[in-house]
Structure 1
Amino acid sequence: MQKVIDMQWFSNLRLLLAGFLLLLVASCQSSDKASDVLSVDAQAPAGATVSPERVGEGEATIILALDLAKATRANADLADGARLAAELLGGGKVSLAIVDAAGAQLTPADKPVFYAAGPGVIPQPPAGLTPVGVSETAPAGGFAFVGSREDSLATGMRHAAPKGELVAVLVPENGPNDGSRVDAARLGSAIGGKVGVLTYGTGESGVEIIKKMGDISKIAAVGFASADRTEISRIATMLRKVSPGMLIVGNSDWTSSVAALPVLEGAVIARPDTQSAEAISERFRARYGRVPSQMALYGFDLVAVPAGIVRARGGSAVTRAQLLAPAGFRGASGSFRFRQDGRIERLLELAVIKGGRFTVAKPAEGGF
């Protein structure tokens, strides 16, 4: 297995963060003011230009574009994670500019090396920069930063059928949580072995859906592409009646409310790595008074990756080719690498639903 590119800033992260402790304490004194950028009171009038918020004094500038007119928790968490990374890992060489996607301007002194766009933002990167979008879908010419439901389901199904046993995946045809982000053909190829990808309509009963599977005794596991709690409960209940011991595989969009369904006891889900966050969770909690969410971890890594490259090789080294390094990166959100087609590949952990809760059964691997 190829060793992950563990840039110096992350391979010894705990030591590095300890070295930045004084900086962290100083930054805590102004944390309330910095967070106000995303508060409801700080929203800018429509059409107004918002000056970029800057963190750090380095020459190389990392741009995080957010829709500051929307004071969402996702935006706040993303920005806070990015701020923390800039404060701890900038090293006097990197600065973070949090800009309003509606039209904030950089200064001539800025030397942009990396551009990331928050949820719902249409990227408008400076010339020559490859945009990274905080979504499952890659922006034009760039990369996605959020792992897909499809990848999660494929990983879970491979675990359920390690020897290529016959498995079935249920993909709804339409609806708000319809699995539309799941490419059936690509999913089947990613799982490998014998796979039956079955689509069903919202009007079909659980009995009708189960009948589509044929001889269920020959199926090793059934995967759900849906994240709709009511829909999952309806189908899984019928599935348990027909085959009580059937292994059910969920996906990374399943929430704690889905896990609380008694019928899903023992189900397996491949989800984002939760162990890697330990390296920064204590600092984040001390800085912001809350546990870092997945979005906060994304924000941290969106700064940590280019910051590590700049510190090791200079600003000119933050290139598309470098971002496509096969060995990938290891960050607070786990190990990941960018694909040529713009998608991101993340190493996932396996969780099992026990007593209505997700329990880690197998930690994510450390590298590709």
Structure 2
Amino acid sequence: MLFAIHLARKSLGRFALVLLAPVMALVLSACVPAGEGGAPAPKGGKVTVALLVPGGSGNASDQIMADSLANAARMAVADLGGGAQIDLKVYQTGGSPAMAASLATQAADEGAQIILGPVYAAEANAVGVAMAPRGISVLAFSNNTAIAGGNVFVLGPTFENSARRVAGYAVRQGKNRVMIVADKNTAGEAGSAAIQRGVAAVGGTVVASTSYEFSQSGIAAAAAGIVATARSAEASALFLTADTAGALPVLSQSLVAAGLDTATMKFLGLTRWDIPSQTLSLPALQGSWFALPDPNLYAQFQSRYMSAYGAAPLPISGLAYDGIAAIGALAKQGRDLSGGSLTQNAGFVGVSGIFRLRADGSNERGLAIAEIRQGQAVVIDPAPRSFAGAGF
């Protein structure tokens, strides 16, 4: 248990850097409108794309991520076939907002029509501000919607998307009285708010909401009270913000030990509970539901990537592929790369299924619902293949 909480603190430190840095510093890009008209329509289907990756920081994990993103983008370019030509130029930002903004400016001077990346929220915000006067769109790999808007779009999976998808399935199965159980930290607060909105959007009811101190002792102290509240509120599901690298193993076990009956009160996950795969063997989580991208499509991408590069891709690398897929689709249509084109309602198809960008800079993804059964993630509601009637 101590090990799980130690990992959680490390994980959330990274989360705060990537996703939820202070809002006042990050919302600037959303306040700067994209230039009128946006980037011009591709001539002859050719688009110059600047890919901003976090290599060059001296951090080994950043370099591995940079290489994986670049490899996936190159694979996507090769997959486009006729009708679209992508001139992909890769820039190493070192994870620095100032460097990212400077390189984006350099890329625009060199003819870039759109920016793909960067990874970290502070970088993406800086790039968005730098590119807004030029009318150049930024497809960031972040999932922090605080930086989205104007000319900045986030490609990463969001709490909003997962909360609504899981809540929608749960309500349809009769699990419509939801209790929110959140980490008492920035990530937990953001996740709780997303769950509130998601449950309301699909016709469910939040019957109670509680949080716990983010520590082993905090969870132990709160467990009995959480179970008592769930019973008194007659909750049919507990929606947890906890993730697998954080409090989830300790929290789920503590709640069951305190008397929670998961046969009548279903655990719902805001994040993916199949990574790492060892999480699936936790006894307390058997029968739980969570959302994930179309596993069959991603498995195909993973297999092809391994054949091409000799190693498995990082999950985030799929976002680079998706970005190129969207750009290529617009190029084939002869459309420009402005916000109006990027937010076409039909969306795009990427390595994990369908996705579309929204006018507010967020995204929607077609997710599957999985149930944990005997240590396996079993898809019980497949990901939609189009947004028509997908329930978004």
Query: TM-score normalised by the shorter chain: which range applies?
Result: 0.7 to 0.9
The answer on 1:174 being equivalent to 2:165 is no
Letter in 1 for 2:310: G
Partner in structure 2 of residue 333 of structure 1: 352
> Mapping of 1:50-199 within 5 angstroms?
59-70=46-57, 71=60, 72=62, 73-89=64-80, 91=82, 93-101=85-93, 102=99, 103-104=102-103, 105-106=106-107, 110-120=110-120, 121-122=123-124, 123-124=126-127, 126=131, 127-138=134-145, 139-140=147-148, 141=150, 142-162=152-172, 166-175=176-185, 178-183=188-193, 185-199=196-210
Query: How far apart are residue 286 of structure 1 and its match?
Result: 1.6
Partner in structure 2 of residue 233 of structure 1: 252
Letter in 2 for 1:86: V
Answer with 254-263 or 231-240: which moved more.
231-240
Structure 1: which 5+ runs fail to align?
1-57
Partner in structure 2 of residue 53 of structure 1: none
Letter in 2 for 1:111: G
SS in 2 for 1:199: strand
Question: Would the alpha carbon gap of residues 336 and 169 (structure 1) be closer, same or farther in structure 2, given more than 3 Å must change?
Answer: farther
Partner in structure 1 of residue 367 of structure 2: 348
Query: How far apart are residue 334 of structure 1 and its match?
Result: 1.1
Query: How far apart are residue 134 of structure 1 and its match?
Result: 0.9
1:207 aligned residue (220, 224, 239): 224
Question: Would the alpha carbon gap of residues 131 and 182 (structure 1) be closer, same or farther in structure 2, given more than 3 Å must change?
Answer: farther
Query: How far apart are residue 322 of structure 1 and its match?
Result: 0.9
SS in 1 for 2:238: strand
Q: Distance in 1 between matches of 2:351 and 2:54?
A: 24
Q: Distance in 1 between matches of 2:280 and 2:300?
A: 27
SS in 1 for 2:345: coil
Contact 1:116–1:302, Cα closer than 8 Å, also in 2: yes
Question: Would the alpha carbon gap of residues 356 and 163 (structure 1) be closer, same or farther in structure 2, given more than 3 Å must change?
Answer: closer
Q: Distance in 1 between matches of 2:320 and 2:190?
A: 26
Q: Distance in 1 between matches of 2:240 and 2:90?
A: 38
Question: Would the alpha carbon gap of residues 61 and 262 (structure 1) be closer, same or farther in structure 2, given more than 3 Å must change?
Answer: same
Contact 2:181–2:211, Cα closer than 8 Å, also in 1: yes
Letter in 1 for 2:201: A
The answer on 1:223 being equivalent to 2:233 is no
Contact 2:339–2:359, Cα closer than 8 Å, also in 1: no
Partner in structure 1 of residue 376 of structure 2: 357
Runs of 4+ in 1 over 6 A off after TM superposition: none
SS in 1 for 2:142: coil
Query: How far apart are residue 116 of structure 1 and its match?
Result: 1.9
1:312 aligned residue (306, 328, 333): 333
Structure 2: which 5+ runs fail to align?
1-44, 94-98, 388-392
Q: Distance in 2 between matches of 1:325 and 1:250?
A: 30
Partner in structure 2 of residue 291 of structure 1: 312
Query: How far apart are residue 165 of structure 1 and its match?
Result: 5.0
Q: Distance in 2 between matches of 1:94 and 1:131?
A: 16
Query: How far apart are residue 59 of structure 1 and its match?
Result: 4.8
Answer with 180-189 or 138-147: which moved more.
180-189
Answer with 325-334 or 64-73: which moved more.
64-73
> Mapping of 1:247-266 within 5 angstroms?
247-254=266-273, 255=275, 256-266=277-287
Question: Would the alpha carbon gap of residues 321 and 177 (structure 1) be closer, same or farther in structure 2, given more than 3 Å must change?
Answer: closer
Q: Distance in 1 between matches of 2:287 and 2:353?
A: 25
Q: In percent, how many aligned pairs have the same letter?
A: 24
Query: How far apart are residue 318 of structure 1 and its match?
Result: 1.7
Kindly indicate which of the two structures has a greater share of residues assigned to helix.
Answer: 2
Contact 2:355–2:363, Cα closer than 8 Å, also in 1: yes
Answer with 96-105 or 323-332: which moved more.
96-105
SS in 1 for 2:356: strand
SS in 2 for 1:252: coil
Contact 2:52–2:118, Cα closer than 8 Å, also in 1: yes
Query: How far apart are residue 198 of structure 1 and its match?
Result: 0.5
Partner in structure 1 of residue 32 of structure 2: none
Contact 1:247–1:266, Cα closer than 8 Å, also in 2: yes
Letter in 1 for 2:296: Q
Question: Would the alpha carbon gap of residues 76 and 198 (structure 1) be closer, same or farther in structure 2, given more than 3 Å must change?
Answer: same
Letter in 2 for 1:221: A
Query: How far apart are residue 265 of structure 1 and its match?
Result: 0.7
